[in-house]
Chains A and B, each alone.
Chain A
Amino acid sequence: EVQLLESGGDLVQPGGSLRLSCAASGFTFSSSGMSWVRQAPGKGLEWVSGISGSGTTTYYADSVKGRFTISRDNSKKTLYLQMNSLRAEDTAVYYCAKGSQIMVRGVPLEFWGQGILVTVSS
């Protein structure tokens, strides 16, 4: 059974940093591109970042480029999102999502974790 479990969400002050983790199980982690998608309270979905199965190719939304860094540790079957210079508008539920193939582009997000809340406020 595919499982994705996000952790690391918290209340953080503007300008602060946070690292999210997503522990994967039930599938060959290194064969799946992965993404982070967020949803601000009462709003729609926003794709944040993606990484190929090998970790060599990464993609970012313009809204987070230069502030967020996606990475993965295939030996630990874990996906990460390092978030720096956080802003109030980064407040959202963050989902990790599994692609159906090793790439990010050209691959739908076939399974999602339950999400973790990040709140940026003073």
Chain B
Amino acid sequence: EIVLTQSPGTLSLSPGERATLSCRASQSVSSSYLSWYQQKPGQAPRLLIYGASSRATGIPDRFSGSGSGTDFTLTINRLEPEDFAVYYCQQYGSSPLTFGGGTKVEIK
């Protein structure tokens, strides 16, 4: 099973700042089958990034993903008020599919 470790656990930032979230895998993620999801309180997760760097439909270009192998990054440029939420990475290349523990981006 591929274990995903996200850091930091919490990120305190102000609107307009850049957020950099990390996701590290215990073994290489095949074909960069790595996605990022955003979840707000009381809501279902929403797909942001798939294939490590491709934005899902309707996702603003201030969200970008990068990385390969075992190290992946989600960057949010110029944080908007609606971006404060919890973010999860997920690998979907091998079974069982696994999620990271999440990073909460909160308002400073």
Contacts and interface: CB of A to CB of B under 8 A. Distances in A.
Given A59-B96, A62-B96, A108 B50 contact: yes
A73 interface: no
B44 A114 contact: yes
Contacts, number: 72
Nearest to A108: B50
A27 interface: no
A35 interface: yes
Contacts of A114: 43-44
Contacts of B99: 37, 44-47
A76 to B, nearest CB: 22
A45 B88 contact: yes
Contacts of B100: 44
A110 interface: yes
Interface in A28-84: 35, 37, 44-47, 50, 59-62
Contacts of B88: 44-45
B85 interface: no
Interface in B1-57: 1, 31, 33, 35, 37, 39, 43-47, 50-51, 56
Contacts of B92: 104-109
Top 4 A-B pairs ranked by shortest CB distance?
A: A108-B50, A112-B44, A47-B97, A59-B95
Interface residues on A, range: 20 to 34
A114 to B, nearest CB: 5
A113 interface: yes
Contact of B96 (A44, A47, A110, A111): A47
B39 to A, nearest CB: 8
A60 B95 CA distance: 8
A106 B33 contact: yes
A35 B45 CA distance: 13
Contacts of B46: 112
A111 B94 CA distance: 20
A105 B51 CA distance: 12
